């Protein structure tokens, strides 16, 4: 969503000479990976009063017939790949013949294997004569990817390509090394000592987010708590996102669904409780703070078995990060209270068991085995 600062609007003015004067067929097509991203983009576009024409957001989970009847009255479409392809296949009123600009936000994700077939089918339905803009904090330079988009002599523009670091200078980045079974206590202590801050905590799976959120709600750390993950209903996710945006002091537990495209205002801390799968994921997570020249802090929590290899990956990606030590005087242990809660609440205990399995499975499925070694996990201590 960063591309909505100024750049695309200016590009459109230069190339077109003027913004659309009448509603006709789709001329501007913005494609993003999630509905939350699309909602953010639409809200940003609506702030530009110079744009005349109709903007439509296409998203799964909504009435296709309602969208279909209005598609001949729009010229700016913001959409997710799956919903866009559905309109192309099923909606005779959806016409891209006059398309002039295609924008792919989070382009590296839109072009990866998970969306490859969908994006190929979409591109086949678009005119070859168009301007294509790809935006991402971790852009792809793969010739294969660019060729698939029919790009001719593409120009690569990178804010950080020749910079000393690939992350903002205003972002303070630190890491700590803790044992697996100490993560919960460390997070509890951190939140208890930062109740006047806005904090975003990343975990690797939906079940972990759900359990940590439920457990912390029962433990009552003294700050508003929210949880955002993929298995929630779409409207519920949007309500949680908007609630977190409005709050000045809150903690949001989230999966990587919150790592891209979402603009969270005034986040003080990003805590990566589970190690990101690669340096690109780290950059996107940390990028939820220190936005628009503002300051922010990122804390990466590593296991001893993850430390060496992950730090090598971050150094190779030009990410400056320093180790900090836990202040033992501020460390608080909630285990006795948590154990009592688990003994009384069978549902919470079952949620804890599901989170345990989900975490171990996520580590096992990680591709970078130099960083993620499931055999190095102390599962006995963690399970207690």
Residue ranges covered by each domain of the chain: 12-148, 171-383
pLDDT confidence bin for 42, thresholds 50/70/90: low
Taking the C-alpha atoms of residue 381 and residue 384, their distance in angstroms, rounded to an integer, is 5
pLDDT, averaged across the chain: 83
Q: At what angle do helices 335-344 and 206-219 cross, to 10 degrees?
A: 100
Taking the C-alpha atoms of residue 210 and residue 232, their distance in angstroms, rounded to an integer, is 10
Q: Do domains 12-148 and 171-383 have the same CATH topology?
A: yes
Reported as a single tens digit per residue, the pLDDT across 151-205 is: 778 888 876 667 788 888 899 999 999 999 999 999 999 999 999 999 999 999 9
In sequence order, what are the beta bridge partners of 226? 252
Specify the DSSP element, H or E, that contains 269. strand 269-272
**Helices vs strands, H then E, count in the chain:** 15, 12
Rounded mean pLDDT, 15-29:
44
For residue 17, the model assigns a pLDDT of 33
For residue 18, the model assigns a pLDDT of 32
Taking the C-alpha atoms of residue 307 and residue 99, their distance in angstroms, rounded to an integer, is 48
pLDDT confidence bin for 213, thresholds 50/70/90: very high
CATH code reported for the domain at 12-148: 3.40.50.300
Taking the C-alpha atoms of residue 149 and residue 131, their distance in angstroms, rounded to an integer, is 11
Q: 34 — phi, psi (to 5°)?
A: -135, 160
C-alpha 345: how far from its chain's center? 32
Q: At what angle do helices 304-316 and 279-286 cross, to 10 degrees?
A: 80
Q: What is the dihedral of CA 68, 55, 42, 65, to 10 degrees?
A: -10
Concatenate the DSSP letters of all residues of 359-379 into one string. HHHHHHH-S-TTT--GGG--H
pLDDT confidence bin for 327, thresholds 50/70/90: confident
For residue 143, the model assigns a pLDDT of 57
pTM over 0.85: no
Count how many residues are written for the chain: 384
Q: Which residue has the higher pLDDT, 258 or 19?
A: 258
- C-alpha distances in angstroms, 162 versus 2, 157, 166, 316, 318? 20, 11, 9, 14, 11
For residue 274, the model assigns a pLDDT of 97
Query: What homologous superfamily is domain 171-383 in, according to CATH?
Result: P-loop containing nucleotide triphosphate hydrolases (3.40.50.300)
Query: If DSSP codes are grouped into helix, strand and coil, which group holds residue 349?
Result: helix
For residue 357, the model assigns a pLDDT of 96
pLDDT confidence bin for 22, thresholds 50/70/90: very low
Reported as a single tens digit per residue, the pLDDT across 108-130 is: 777 765 677 888 888 888 888 88
Reported as a single tens digit per residue, the pLDDT across 293-315 is: 789 999 999 999 999 999 999 99
Taking the C-alpha atoms of residue 321 and residue 301, their distance in angstroms, rounded to an integer, is 12
């Amino acid at each position: 969503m960063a591309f909505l600062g100024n750049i695309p609007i200016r590009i459109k003015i230069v190339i077109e000479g003027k913004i659309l004067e009448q509603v006709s067929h789709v001329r501007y097509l913005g494609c993003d990976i999630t509905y939350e991203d699309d909602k953010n983009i639409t809200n940003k576009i609506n702030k530009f009063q110079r744009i005349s024409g109709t903007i439509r957001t296409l998203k799964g989970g909504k009435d296709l017939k309602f969208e279909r009847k209005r598609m001949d009255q729009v010229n700016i479409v913001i959409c997710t790949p799956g919903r866009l392809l559905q309109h192309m296949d099923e909606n005779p009123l959806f016409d891209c013949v006059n398309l002039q600009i295609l924008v792919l936000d989070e382009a590296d994700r839109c072009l990866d294997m998970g969306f490859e077939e969908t994006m190929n089918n979409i591109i086949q339905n678009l005119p070859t004569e168009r301007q294509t803009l790809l935006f991402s904090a971790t852009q792809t330079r793969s010739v294969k990817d660019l060729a698939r988009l029919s790009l001719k002599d593409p120009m690569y523009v990178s804010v950080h390509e020749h910079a000393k670091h690939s992350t903002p200078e205003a972002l303070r980045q630190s890491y700590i090394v803790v044992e697996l079974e100490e993560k919960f206590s460390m997070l509890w202590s951190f939140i208890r000592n930062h109740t006047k801050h806005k904090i975003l905590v990343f975990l690797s799976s939906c079940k972990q987010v759900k359990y940590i959120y439920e457990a912390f709600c029962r433990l009552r750390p003294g700050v508003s708590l929210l949880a955002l993950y993929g298995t929630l209903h779409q409207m519920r996710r949007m309500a949680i996102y908007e609630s977190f945006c409005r709050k000045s002091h809150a903690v949001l537990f989230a999966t990587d669904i919150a790592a891209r495209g979402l603009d969270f205002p005034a986040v003080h801390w990003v805590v990566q409780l589970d190690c990101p799968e690669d340096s690109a994921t780290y950059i996107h997570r940390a990028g939820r703070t220190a936005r628009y020249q503002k300051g922010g802090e990122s804390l990466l929590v590593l296991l001893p078995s993850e430390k060496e290899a992950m730090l090598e990956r971050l150094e190779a990606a030009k990410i400056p990060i320093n180790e900090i030590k836990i202040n033992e005087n501020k460390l608080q242990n909630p285990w006795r209270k948590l154990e009592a809660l688990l003994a009384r609440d069978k549902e919470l205990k079952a949620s804890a068991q599901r989170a345990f399995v989900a975490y171990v499975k996520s580590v096992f499925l990680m591709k970078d085995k130099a960083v993620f070694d499931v055999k190095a996990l102390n599962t006995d201590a963690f399970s207690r």
